[in-house]
Amino acid sequence: MMGYLGKKDFLLIAKPLGIIMQGVGAVVIMPLIVAIIYHEPLFYEFIIFGGFSILLGFILRKVPSDYNKLKLRHGMIIAAVAWLWAALIGSFCLIYATNIDFLNAYFECMSAWSGSGFSIFTDVEILPKSILFFRSLMQWFGGLGIVIMVIGILIRPGTAAARLYKSEAREEKIKPSITSTVKTIWWIYVFYTILGIILYLFAGMGLFDAVNNTFTNLSTGGMSIKNNSIGSYNSDLITLITIILMIIGGTSFLVHYKAFQGRVLDVFKDLQFQAMIIIVAVFSILLVVYAKFTDLNAVFYVVSALSCTGSNTEPINAMATWMDYPKVILTIAMIIGMAAGSTTGALKLIRVITLFKGVYWEIKRILLPEGSVISRTISGKPVSDIEIREAGSYTFLYFFFILISWLVLMQYGYSGIDSFFEVASAQGNVGLSLGIISPNMPDIAEILLIFNMWIGRLEIIPVLVLFKGLLDIFRR
């Protein structure tokens, strides 16, 4: 039986992958600027490995290829490989700069690039500022997506841009072309980044902290430069600003664009935004009433979990002592996620809404007389059988991969609730942890959680396409 992909397909992806490698290399070199500013030792590994990524990308760009022949499957393979490569180059830098082993370094970088926010460092405050900035920078770029970063900066308009855009599970179009859409998203993202820095400065935070906290919370990454995350600042105002940034990051860029056009009321008419407000309100009340959280802390943790940011106001060892009730509430939030077309992870609100609507429509179809026509729309847009099936099949795959890692963690002796919490956090690219994540965790468990973060960021299908493509190659 012939496979769907051949060697020519993998030659076809060389040029766009090379462009992405050059973008990754440039990001890796940037932290040296911080090292110079703060008179820190220059980690030449950043130049070496960043330069290597740029050089290899330059070589791959010389491979003859026709952008017009790029299909969605090629874009998915490029996206899947790009995230692995970005984490790999970053991990080599961390190995030499912080003296950690390869697996922990790769975990840290995959966590940062994917916006998961887990950290294997038990004391981040002893790390050089250039390394802290590197972790934040990976989250900031990763929040938009490595491929999105490259489309906006390096790739010319056309079919290739459209294929790559869809490869990272993005469908929304703000402008007529994909390239102009991505550039608009970039300008919105940069505007909110500047706004976040100003707000943190106004709240009394230092410039370095303001930049890093804006990078990590707006990107819904949450990997902090403080051991106790946002709780280290002991400021309600800073906590409130962080909540605002997490909500901004978890809201669709299309909604932001409408707001920038002066259509502010359209923000509150957006179905995903409405669903987010309802979930935050209900879940926060549940945490206040049944788990004795303070009002601000309840809202903070629900938004942190739902937006897939993973910022904390309490130390991890304090979270580990929580009763099961708040763990379950936050796990549900981490599985749902916020809006499609944002920086958030997890299932996304629109899929959850589509699934519930699909069940409702099916029940309605059974109850109505045979031959009745049912109007199936969400926010005024018709919903097809294919869209309902896609939401259902993706949700099945999502829970299937969670189940595998969940069983493995429990096999190592971790409790059922804590294991499920940790795996849901990894695959949802959240980063909230109850203490299972550590530099000494079992290697197999760590590898599986890296896999969960990877597939969660890419929404699974591109990874399966990559595996199928490799299988096709080996069969020939």
In DSSP notation, 142-188 reads: HHH-HHHHHHHHTPPSSHHHHHHHHHTT----SSSSHHHHHHHHHHH
CB atoms closer than 10 angstroms to residue 296? 14
Quick check: is 30 in a domain? yes
Long-range pairs, 58-62, Cβ under 8 A, ≥24 = 58/18, 58/22, 59/18, 60/14, 60/15, 60/17, 60/18, 60/21, 61/14, 61/15, 61/18, 61/19, 61/22, 62/18
Are the C-beta atoms of 437 and 422 separated by less than 8 Å?
Answer: yes
Are the C-beta atoms of 78 and 31 separated by less than 8 Å?
Answer: no
Quick check: is 423 in a domain? no
* Same domain, yes or no: 372 and 455: no
Report how many domains make up the chain: 2
- Determine the Cα–Cα distance for residues 76 and 92; give it in Å rounded to an integer: 25
* Same domain, yes or no: 242 and 344: yes
CB atoms closer than 10 angstroms to residue 123? 7
Residues 6+ apart with CB under 8 A from 307: 220, 246, 247, 249, 250, 337, 338, 344
pLDDT tens, per residue, the chain with 476 residues: 345 566 676 778 888 889 889 989 999 999 999 999 999 887 788 999 999 999 999 999 888 776 667 777 777 888 889 999 999 999 999 999 899 999 999 999 999 999 999 999 999 999 999 999 999 999 999 888 766 655 554 455 444 455 555 545 455 666 656 667 778 888 999 999 999 999 999 999 999 999 999 999 999 999 999 999 999 999 999 999 999 999 999 999 889 999 998 888 888 889 999 999 999 999 999 999 999 999 999 999 999 999 999 999 988 888 888 999 999 999 999 999 999 888 888 999 999 999 999 999 999 988 888 877 888 888 878 888 888 998 999 999 999 999 999 999 999 999 999 999 999 999 999 999 999 999 999 999 999 999 999 999 988 888 998 888 777 766 66
DSSP-based three-state secondary structure for 377 = strand
Per the confidence metrics, is the pTM higher than 0.85? yes
Cross-strand pairs, 382: 377
**Domain span including residue 194:** 171-316+325-384
* Same domain, yes or no: 165 and 303: no
Tokens of 57: 């990308």
Quick check: is 114 in a domain? yes
Last residue of a domain, one of 384, 404, 430: 384
Last residue of a domain, one of 384, 399, 416: 384
Least Cα distance to 406 among 351, 344, 448, 457 occurs for 448
Are the C-beta atoms of 418 and 319 separated by less than 8 Å?
Answer: no
Are the C-beta atoms of 219 and 343 separated by less than 8 Å?
Answer: yes
Q: Which amino acid is at 90?
A: G
235 burial (CB, 10 Å; 0-12 / 13-18 / 19+) is: middle
* Same domain, yes or no: 99 and 143: yes
Quick check: is 130 in a domain? yes
- At residue 387, the pLDDT reads 87
- Angle separating helix axes 72-98 and 129-144, nearest 10 degrees: 170
CB atoms closer than 10 angstroms to residue 240? 15
* Same domain, yes or no: 202 and 147: no
* Same domain, yes or no: 368 and 226: yes
* Same domain, yes or no: 82 and 213: no
DSSP-based three-state secondary structure for 346 = coil
Provide the residue count of the chain.
Answer: 476
* Same domain, yes or no: 71 and 194: no
Q: SS3 for 54-91, per residue?
A: HHHHHHHCCCCCCHHHCCHHHHHHHHHHHHHHHHHHHH
DSSP-based three-state secondary structure for 432 = coil
**Cα→Cα distances 37→133, 216, 315, Å:** 12, 21, 30
Least Cα distance to 77 among 155, 9, 131, 135 occurs for 9
Quick check: is 147 in a domain? yes
* Same domain, yes or no: 186 and 153: no
CB atoms closer than 10 angstroms to residue 412? 12
Quick check: is 339 in a domain? yes
Quick check: is 362 in a domain? yes
* Same domain, yes or no: 133 and 213: no
Quick check: is 390 in a domain? no
Last residue of a domain, one of 345, 367, 384: 384
* Same domain, yes or no: 261 and 335: yes
- Determine the Cα–Cα distance for residues 90 and 108; give it in Å rounded to an integer: 9
Are the C-beta atoms of 283 and 302 separated by less than 8 Å?
Answer: yes
CB atoms closer than 10 angstroms to residue 25? 24
* Same domain, yes or no: 231 and 338: yes
- At residue 412, the pLDDT reads 95
